[in-house]
């Protein structure tokens, strides 16, 4: 999911490139009446962008639209519209922002109305809300809907049975529906070419994320990370544009490492790296800049985050494999972070704490996102026990401005950094 519509003080070539890519996709989406292209709506975790491209369809992602509206600070009214229409305060605010957006003319960031989808593709990857969301969209648009059922990793592993089940659905349900709606015959060799592009881009994305192991880290893997994951997690994975984008980003970060620089922030290069954090949970989008500033003003850099894995755990070894096109799509869907059980999530966070030499864990608990929030306090206590490092808990929301309290978050963060300092002092005294 990308933050590329938010204006940046510093414009590196990769930022310009990504902004152009996202603007181009919205222009393509809002021009389908003229072009005759068909539109498929789907979700970010487990999305099948390479397969979608095989049928010359345009990928529309409702989550990304909600994020864009949140960052442009227009989601609040949309959410209130949805609540007035009967949706509960506890419903995912991405859903309510999307429903409210439809009621306000479904206007894209380029100011033009979004097209109605020709098809809904639901790949269920650990978030039950997705199913209810698409029920609402199906009722609204009355278009063909196909569900790709993804078994949950309840036991913490992907079995052959689970994989075969997903591949069978791709062959017998998903691909036939694409052919029917698009009028384009499936070409597996075309899919292989897109998957080759994906694997190339994924290699560079992983290098970028792992560059945070350097001291100082040249990136912020949470706030800055949402820029880096944007093309890979959305409508660009598998494209030549994505390959070029990640090549650009890698070169820029290699240069930052050579120069010993920290991350770029909205106010320029970050100066001193005082704290290295691992963060669990999505960011707050309506106050994204203010939220980020609370960290970099304190010299806090996020060196690893779980949120930047919702669209694939590439840094744990997964790559799209052109030699097994449908099998690799199944592996991708099954392996997304939100499809992992709690023990797997704890193990990943513990690994990040150790591999990235973090000073502590911070959890941003999202009020309306059960997929992330369930079990987070348990995870926090477990990480403290395993690593001996301090952990803290703050609360915001995705795109509902009513649930971001700047003063509250600031106070909690300041208290947390004091706790980190005390832990360090204790460790220094013990060593002495």
- The answer to whether residue 5 is domain-embedded is no
- The answer to whether residue 232 is domain-embedded is no
Distance CA 111, CA 85 (A): 24
pLDDT band for 8, please (50, 70, 90 cuts): very low
pLDDT band for 430, please (50, 70, 90 cuts): low
Q: What is the pLDDT of residue 1?
A: 46
pLDDT for 149 beyond 60: yes
Percentage of the residues of the chain whose pLDDT score is greater than 70: 96
H helical segments located in 170-273: 175-182, 188-210, 225-233, 240-258
Greater confidence, 426 or 388?
388
3-state secondary structure of 111: coil
Q: What is the pLDDT of residue 429?
A: 64
Q: State the chain's mean pLDDT as an integer.
A: 93
Q: What is the pLDDT of residue 12?
A: 82
Rounded to an integer, the average pLDDT of 391-409 is 95
What is the Rg, in whole angstroms, of the alpha carbon atoms belonging to the chain?
Answer: 21
Q: What is the pLDDT of residue 373?
A: 84
- The answer to whether residue 48 is domain-embedded is yes
Overall pTM surpassing 0.75 (yes/no) = yes
Rounded to an integer, the average pLDDT of 358-383 is 92
Structural domain including 86 reads 13-187
Distance CA 141, CA 158 (A): 35
The answer to whether the beta carbons of residues 288 and 71 sit under 8 Å apart is yes
Percentage of the residues of the chain whose pLDDT score is greater than 90: 88
3-state secondary structure of 249: helix
Rounded to an integer, the average pLDDT of 415-422 is 96
Q: What is the pLDDT of residue 424?
A: 85
Helix axes 325-334, 188-210, angle to 10 degrees: 40
Distance CA 409, CA 386 (A): 26
Greater confidence, 373 or 358?
358
- The answer to whether residue 100 is domain-embedded is yes
Q: What is the pLDDT of residue 125?
A: 81
CATH of the domain at 154: 3.40.50.11890
Q: For residue range 301-352, list pLDDT tens digits in order.
A: 999 999 999 999 999 999 999 999 999 999 999 999 989 999 999 999 999 9
Q: What is the pLDDT of residue 6?
A: 44
- The answer to whether residue 144 is domain-embedded is yes
Distance CA 138, CA 126 (A): 20
- The answer to whether residue 308 is domain-embedded is no
- The answer to whether residue 171 is domain-embedded is yes
Q: For residue range 218-267, list pLDDT tens digits in order.
A: 999 999 999 999 999 999 999 999 999 999 999 999 999 999 999 999 99
Q: For residue range 155-190, list pLDDT tens digits in order.
A: 999 999 999 999 999 999 999 999 999 999 999 999
Which two three-digit tokens encode residue 295?
């960290």
Distance CA 228, CA 426 (A): 36
Distance CA 49, CA 58 (A): 9
The number of distinct structural domains making up the chain is: 1
Which two three-digit tokens encode residue 19?
């902004």
Q: For residue range 32-42, list pLDDT tens digits in order.
A: 999 999 999 99
């Amino acid at each position: 999911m990308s933050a590329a519509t938010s204006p940046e003080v510093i414009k590196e070539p990769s930022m310009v490139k990504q902004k152009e890519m996202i603007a181009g996709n919205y222009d393509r989406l809002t021009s389908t009446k003229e072009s005759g292209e068909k539109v498929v709506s789907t979700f970010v975790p487990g999305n099948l962008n390479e397969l979608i491209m095989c049928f010359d369809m345009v990928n529309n992602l409702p989550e990304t639209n909600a994020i864009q509206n949140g960052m442009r600070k227009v989601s609040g009214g949309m959410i209130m519209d949805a609540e007035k229409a009967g949706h509960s305060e506890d419903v995912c605010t991405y859903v309510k922002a999307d429903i409210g957006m439809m009621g306000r003319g479904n206007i894209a960031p380029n100011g033009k109305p979004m097209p109605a989808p020709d098809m809904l593709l639901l790949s269920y990857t650990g978030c039950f809300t997705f199913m209810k969301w698409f029920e609402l969209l199906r009722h609204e648009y009355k278009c063909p809907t196909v569900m790709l059922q993804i078994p949950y990793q309840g036991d913490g592993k992907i079995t052959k049975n689970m994989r075969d089940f997903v591949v069978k659905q791709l062959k017998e349900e998903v691909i036939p529906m694409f052919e029917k709606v698009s009028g384009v015959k499936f070409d597996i060799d075309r899919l292989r070419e897109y998957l080759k592009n994906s694997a190339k881009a994924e290699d560079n994305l992983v290098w970028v994320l792992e560059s945070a192991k350097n001291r100082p880290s040249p990136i912020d893997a949470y706030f800055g990370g949402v820029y880096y994951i944007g093309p890979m997690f959305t409508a660009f994975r598998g494209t030549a544009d994505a390959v070029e984008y990640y090549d650009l980003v890698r070169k820029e970060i290699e240069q930052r490492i050579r120069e010993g620089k920290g991350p770029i922030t909205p106010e320029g290069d970050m100066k001193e790296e005082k704290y290295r954090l691992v963060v669990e949970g999505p960011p707050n989008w309506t106050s994204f800049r203010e939220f980020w500033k609370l960290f970099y003003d304190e010299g806090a850099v996020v060196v690893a985050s779980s949120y930047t894995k919702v669209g694939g755990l590439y840094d744990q070894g997964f790559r799209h494999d052109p030699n097994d096109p449908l099998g690799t799509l199944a592996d991708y869907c099954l392996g997304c972070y939100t499809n992992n059980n709690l023990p797997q999530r704890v193990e990943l966070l513990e690994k990040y704490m150790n591999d990235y030499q973090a000073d502590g864990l911070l959890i941003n608990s999202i009020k309306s996102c059960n997929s992330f929030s369930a079990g987070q306090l348990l995870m926090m206590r477990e990480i403290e026990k395993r690593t001996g490092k301090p952990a803290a808990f703050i609360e915001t929301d995705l795109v509902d401005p009513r649930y971001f309290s700047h003063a509250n978050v600031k106070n909690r963060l300041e208290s947390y950094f004091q706790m980190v300092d005390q832990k360090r002092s204790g460790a220094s005294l013990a060593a002495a």
